[in-house]
A and B are shown apart, each in its own frame.
Chain A
Amino acid sequence: MNFALAAVGSGAALFAILTVFQRNLYASALCLMAVLLQVAALFFLLGAQVLGFLQILVYAGAIMVLIVIAVMSSPARITHLWADFRLPKWLIALVLAVPFGELILASRLGAGTPAFHSVTPALERGMAIVLFGRYALLTEIVGVAILLSALAMIQDNE
């Protein structure tokens, strides 16, 4: 089972390296998406299914959309400097194939193996109790921070 963890981990490390050394910003964002999906696969392997799903929803979903919108909203000269839409085909194939394959593998392995099924349903229930019990104030503060960050997107007309 260490093999699965090592395979997913080395994939995450590889795509993290590719994120830095891609000149094209779209390619960097694509590699970051692969890293985020593989981190979700790591969460699945470690048994934290809820966090894995949240990782996919929040990071690989919402944040990646924001990144693409930010790149597309750039002025033409910056867009020209950053990206030319000619992504390497091998990179697209790799990003699509590797993380999704690992996610499927991780969801299968994470469900059946005691070594990585370390987070029990009771522990995830405990997480919810901690979030809305001991850490309730912290949860409220994070909620307010998210609300304020959403307000930051509103444009003033002055």
Chain B
Amino acid sequence: MTPSTIVWAVSGVMLLMGALCMTLRRQLLAMVLGVELMINAANVNIVYYAAQWKDPAGLAIALLVIAMAAAEVVVGFSLILRLNRIGVSADTGELRDLAG
């Protein structure tokens, strides 16, 4: 197997599992974990091809993706914590509106 095949297979499995986590799990926290899996799957590909093509812009984009993912997680968790604080279940089956 070539390195590109391995990288594509790994990132494909991670992306698929992230999508499954988003669709199968009902807890908001688990859905955030799924998003993280998908972002990492994309990042593996970006870093691999940046290294292959000797492109510093690819590495820079991967770094920015890591930073944006951190910001996204903070926003997601602050929403979940707020839901918990006001006593609303973080179960997506029970969430009907986010209008407050």
Which A positions have Cβ atoms within 8 angstroms of B? 2, 5-6, 9-10, 12-13, 16-17, 19-20, 25, 28-29, 32, 35-36, 39, 42-43, 46-48, 50-51, 54-55, 58-59, 62-63, 66-67, 69-71, 73-75, 77-78, 82, 115-116, 118-120, 123-127, 129-131, 134-135, 138-139, 142-143, 145-146, 148-150, 152-153, 155
Contacts and interface: CB of A to CB of B under 8 A. Distances in A.
8 contacts: A16-B14, A25-B27, A42-B44, A67-B29, A127-B56, A130-B60, A135-B64, A152-B75
A6 B14 contact: no
B20 A20 contact: yes
B70 A119 contact: no
Prevailing SS type, chain B contact patch = helix
Interface residues of B, number: 62
Contacts, number: 186
B6 interface: yes
A149 B74 contact: yes
B36 to A, nearest CB: 6
A130 B59 CA distance: 9
A63 B36 contact: yes
B7 A9 contact: yes
B66 A51 contact: yes
B54 A118 contact: yes
A76 B66 CA distance: 32
The 7 closest A-B pairs by CB, nearest first: A126-B56, A9-B10, A149-B71, A13-B13, A16-B17, A127-B59, A149-B74
Nearest to B53: A118
A93 to B, nearest CB: 21
Given A51-B59, A67-B29, A2 B66 contact: no
